[in-house]
Amino acid sequence: MTTTIYCPTNKATLKYGGKGEAIAELQLLLNQRLAEIDTISEYPLQIPVTGYFGEQTIGAVKYLQCLAFLKIDGIVGPKTWEYLCEGSTCLPQLSQGSRDGLVRVIQQTLKDGGFYIGEVDGIYGPKTAKAVIDFQASRHLLADGIIGPQTWNALIQLVAYKCTIQAF
């Protein structure tokens, strides 16, 4: 389940080396969203709220970006803010006929998870739809082949370990 988290109205681009109240707010938001995502660990990833955008903060931002299938650059720009504030409800709905790099990433994720056997080509065709349906069924979701917020949340759980390795 994704919840909307209170976010600041001024969402400036934040990056490594920054400091101040905006960074402290970011750190609090990161801790909230990461705690919501990590429903498995006894102690979900939490970073200290220091007001300084250092190594721990950039690692947490990259982890969040990986989980949200965003560009992993460690910079908190508009898309990262959107995911921080809205969770998976801001991610696009994908279904048969969708074509892009995000579909390619989903295909690879499903392939790595043992659900997709086909070419990773960025085209959401019948093979991708079947893989999504099989994945949804395995997670007790409505198996309709459409990637919406609930399926995004399940996919996020599927990539969590891979993202941990990439971010840290």
Complete domains list, the chain, with CATH: 21-91+162-167 (1.10.101), 101-147 (1.10.101.10)
Q: Which two tokens stand for residue 90?
A: 């801001």
Where would I find the H helices in 18-76? Answer: 21-37, 55-67
Q: What is the pLDDT of residues 17-63, one digit of tens each?
A: 999 999 999 999 999 998 888 766 666 678 999 999 999 999 999 99
**Which tens digit of pLDDT belongs to each residue from 69-110?**
999 999 999 999 999 999 999 999 999 999 999 999 999 999
Residue 167: which pLDDT band, with cuts at 50, 70 and 90? low
Mean pLDDT in residue range 161-168: 68
Tell me, yes or no, if the pTM score tops 0.85: yes
DSSP 80: H
The enclosing H or E element of 3 equals none
User: Residue 40: what pLDDT?
Assistant: 64
Amino acid at site 23: I
pLDDT band with cut points at 50, 70 and 90 for residue 135: very high
Q: Are 66 and 166 in contact (CB under 8 A)?
A: yes
pLDDT of 1 over the 80 cut: no
The C-alpha R_g of the chain, in whole angstroms, comes to 16
Instruction: Give the CA-trace dihedral at 27, 33, 35, 37, to 10 degrees.
Output: -150
Q: What φ, ψ does residue 164 adopt, rounded to 5°?
A: -60, -45
